[in-house]
Structure 1
Amino acid sequence: MSDLSRCSLNTATVKHASLTEAVEAAAGAGLGAVGLWRHQVQEAGAATARKIVEDAGLRVSSLCRGGFLTATSDEGIREAVADNERALIEAAEVGTSELVFVVGGLPGSAPEAPPAPGTDRDLVATRRRVADRLADLAPIAERHGVRIVLEPLHPMFVADRAVVSTLGQALDLAAPFDAGTVGVVVDTYHVWWDPELQASILRAGREGRIAGYQVCDWNLPFAATALNSRGHVGDGYVDFATISRWVAEAGYTGDVETEIFNAEIWAAPPAETAATVGARFAEHVLPHL
């Protein structure tokens, strides 16, 4: 019997399940943790969500998500800081020290949409604003005992979701802050292609900034929505053996979340999906940690 204590089911992988159903599926499959999303925590209430997880004998590996830091207006900046402070509080209340941040795309962009009139195309300035907002939020994160966890997204999402594309960029943004305040997550779907990945993972380890390891596969052909082209570990092109070994060599010993966006997987029974998550973790990831 494989040790699945480090295997975590990110609840996005069973999108249509309730929080209780997702937690029951993870526990039933013998997993050790779940990664939660804010809408579920808000619907249940943080205290109730925490109790559901703890009563099942599980941990909360992370909360998704904070971020979207690229607003240009004073009002937009105030709203972003206020929403991220709420997210940091929610993370603490639900029992995790890790809040995953997707930093946001170009101001005026919308997911999977052409640019609207007035879209700001200044990518350099947009990335600079991300750094400015991190400086605003770092003291708040410290106060609540929660780490801001920067998630670089694949470059195809620069326009509409994240102007940070590589682990190296994320580490550079984190560098001015204590490693316990700003860290990074290694998400195989987004970074597997990066020729500097090994060096960046080892750097992240030296700096003590690896706050999470998320796994899923890169499937082809793409779905109509590229974001939903993730697959179960082992079904696509990602070299999990090598990346997992790099993460282990960097000193990471925390939870490994499976986070999948895929309509076919969402349609499957949550218990079946959780069992597959555990089996694929045992086969493709665990032997290399």
Structure 2
Amino acid sequence: MIRLIPRLDIKSKHLIKGVKLEGLRKIGNPNEYARKYYEQGADELLYMDAVASLYGRNSLTEIVKETVKSVFIPITVGGGIRSVEDAREILRSGADKVAINTAAVQRPDLINEMAKTFGEQCVVLSVEAIRQADGKWLAFTDNGREHTGLDVVEWVKEAVVRGAGEVLLTSVDKEGGRKGYDLALIEAVSEAVSVPVIASGGMGQVMDGVEAVQAGANAIAMADILHYERDTVEGIRQVCAENGLSVRPQEAIHSVHGGELS
């Protein structure tokens, strides 16, 4: 079943949005947006600390603690998580999964340690991919600024062997561009590994998400299209269903959420 996942990038307690992970603009209070997307029927939420690399730590614990008071769907948190202890703190705050990028690149054994400690289902490998002149993709960190030299497909394969249970695949080239996901990237990664792949970066209209799933994605991460109210989670779900994708029925969502929304 395809999951619809609003992505909330956070800077200093503000929800922000950029283009190619740069030029960040403040949108509003992340907790209010999280609640709104939950009420619209989101399957999960994704919180990313956009400036964690500057400070070397994740600062979202308080936001997550506040969110889980009124939002009852799985939450993945990423950015600045550099150790098992960092991950434990995020999970204790109410997150269900942690996404790691820079620390995993610097010390791949961290993936093994986190999978052993929390279970593979808790460990999400976050990949920032940039297409090269030869058509391949290299992995980057620090919002697409730091070159790792790692081939994306090979890196994802290694991470999954080490225990990553899911891949958050962000195309830096496409991010914020409203021109659709990098379908070739999604196809290459999803064919290389058996774990779920979350497509992120580039959703301009609902059919972009449908195409991402057709390319192999198991979940669609969405930001711009929701934050600027160009569509809703409910509307996106309906179009996905009309195009033959297996999504949670809206009626099921209302019955699950109904008691909390009155």
Q: TM-score range by the shorter chain?
A: 0.5 to 0.7
1:232 paired residue number: 204
1:202 paired residue number: 191
User: Structure 1 stretches of 5 or more lacking a match?
Assistant: 68-82, 105-128, 218-230
What whole-Å deviation, never above 9, does each CA across 1:11-66 have from its counterpart, x for those lacking one? Answer: 2295332232112221332323321235663334x544422322xxx332x21224
How far 1:202 moved relative to its partner?
1.9
User: Structure 2 stretches of 5 or more lacking a match?
Assistant: 17-26, 50-57, 133-138, 175-180, 246-262
Q: Is 1:185 aligned to residue 184 of structure 2?
A: no
Q: Is 1:53 aligned to residue 71 of structure 2?
A: yes
The aligned length equals: 206
Q: Is 1:279 aligned to residue 235 of structure 2?
A: yes
CA–CA separation in structure 2 for the residues paired with 1:23 and 1:84 = 26
2:83 paired residue number: 84
Q: Is 1:214 aligned to residue 199 of structure 2?
A: yes
TM-score by length of 2: 0.59
How far 1:99 moved relative to its partner?
2.0
Q: Is 1:37 aligned to residue 48 of structure 2?
A: yes
User: 1 or 2, which has the higher helix percentage?
Assistant: 1
Measured at CA, do residues 257 and 195 of structure 1 come closer, stay the same or move farther in structure 2, by a change above 3 Å? Answer: closer
Indicate the percent of aligned positions where both proteins have the same amino acid: 12
2:7 paired residue number: 10
Q: Residues 135-154 of structure 1 correspond to what in structure 2 (within 5 A)?
A: 135-145=109-119, 146-154=122-130
Q: Which has the higher Rg, Structure 1 or Structure 2? A: 1
Q: 1:103–1:164: 8 Å Cα contact kept in structure 2?
A: no
CA–CA separation in structure 2 for the residues paired with 1:194 and 1:7 = 17
Q: 2:124–2:164: 8 Å Cα contact kept in structure 1?
A: no
How far 1:247 moved relative to its partner?
2.1
CA RMSD of aligned residues (A): 4.0
Q: 1:152–1:170: 8 Å Cα contact kept in structure 2?
A: no
User: 1 or 2, which has the higher strand percentage?
Assistant: 2
What whole-Å deviation, never above 9, does each CA across 1:228-262 have from its counterpart, x for those lacking one? Answer: xxx5335xxx95444312326xxx4xx532134x9
TM-score by length of 1: 0.54
Q: 1:37–1:63: 8 Å Cα contact kept in structure 2?
A: yes
